[in-house]
Amino acid sequence: MKPTTLDARGLSCPQPVLLAFQAMREMGSGHLEILVDNEASQENVRRAVVSQGWTPTITKLNENDYVLRCEKS
Amino acid sequence: MKFFKKILSKNKKSKSSISEKGMLLYPSTGEVIRAETLLREAGLDIAVKGPPPDLRQGCDMIVEFDLMHELHVRQILQTAGLNPLRIVPVHDHLLEPVSLFNVKDFGDYLMVRAANMKITIEKQSQRIVNISGGGCPDVPYLAQMLVGKTMSQAPEPRVLGQTLCGYALQLAFQEVKRLCPG
């Protein structure tokens, strides 16, 4: 099943976190990919998804960008 | 008549040069925060401020107190093993570390920024959803300890923080409590 992708690049904190919360609430469970463009956002979003019981796997795409592949069954 | 005027103005001048406030100088922000907490708990009227330029060592802070209570202050700090490096009378206007809050409403969420620190809560549940900003080493720890907890469950940042960021976060935390008293 194709994951839902959320592009939070270009947004400043706390907006990536708030978008992630909105997506997690709407989805309830499943696969969610979140793109961010700085380490602070990556860290903040990771903390947010973990606090909601999702498990993130983080990949650094290039110098700035990260993708958090999050799962909840 | 002129003579009296001269004396009065002289007296006025000398009165204004008498310092009524003192400041406690510490080597680290963590000690300033601990001293502030202790003195506030003792009911003393104190304030945390930025030091004057000649006493500044970095991004440091001092505790301003009423010199009339110096003995009491010294006793409290000594009992707690928190003796300051120096106690100095305040002669200049001291800087307030944070005097303005920036509040942003994101609909279901509310963000308050104090200086360089932001705290965001979900309005309905009062749950802390994000802590960001800083540049101090204790920010990730503070975020780890606070995110996911409600405002009533969360420990006060001043208890955990050791830096100016922790102090700014405490102010933002208090402002959230004031805005959303639960």
Condensed to tens digits (0 to 9), the pLDDT of residues B118-143 reads 999 999 999 999 999 877 888 889 99
pLDDT at position B99 is: 61
Chain B residue numbers touching A14 (CB-CB < 8 A): 106, 109, 111, 118, 120, 129-130, 132
Where does the pLDDT of residue A13 fall: very low under 50, low under 70, confident under 90, or very high at 90 and above?
A: confident
Domain with A26, as residue range(s), is: 4-72
Mean pLDDT across the stretch A14-43? 93
Q: Does B106 touch chain A (CB under 8 A)?
A: yes
- Give CA separation, B115 vs A68, B27, B66, B70, in Å: 29, 22, 26, 30
- CATH number of the domain that A15 lies in? 3.30.110.40
pLDDT at position A59 is: 96
Residues of B (13-42) whose Cβ lies below 8 Å from A: none
ipTM > 0.90?
no
Query: What residues does CATH 3.30.70.790 cover in chain B?
Result: 15-89
Q: Does A19 touch chain B (CB under 8 A)?
A: no
Q: What is the CATH number that goes with domain B15-89?
A: 3.30.70.790
Condensed to tens digits (0 to 9), the pLDDT of residues B8-46 reads 444 444 444 567 899 999 888 788 888 988 999 999 999
Given a cut of 90, is residue B54 above it in pLDDT? Answer: no
Mean pLDDT across the stretch B166-179? 91
pLDDT at position B59 is: 52
Of A14, A21, A48, Cβ closest to residue B118: A14
Please state the domain count of chain A: 1
Distance to chain B for A61, nearest Cα, Å: 23
Given a cut of 90, is residue B60 above it in pLDDT? Answer: no
Of B118, B120, B148, Cβ closest to residue A51: B148
Q: Does A47 touch chain B (CB under 8 A)?
A: yes
Of A17, A43, A51, Cβ closest to residue B120: A17
pLDDT at position B180 is: 84
Q: Which two tokens stand for residue B147?
A: 């995110």
Condensed to tens digits (0 to 9), the pLDDT of residues B66-118 reads 999 999 999 999 999 999 998 988 887 676 665 678 899 999 999 999 988 99
Beta strands in chain B (DSSP E): 21-25, 47-49, 62-66, 86-89, 101-105, 109-114, 117-122, 127-133
Which residue carries 């903040």 as its tokens? A44
Minimum CA–CA partner of B140 in chain A: A43
Q: Does B144 touch chain A (CB under 8 A)?
A: yes
Read out DSSP for B42-77? Answer: TT---EEEBPPGGG--SS--EEEEEGGGHHHHHHHH
Of B111, B118, B147, Cβ closest to residue A48: B147
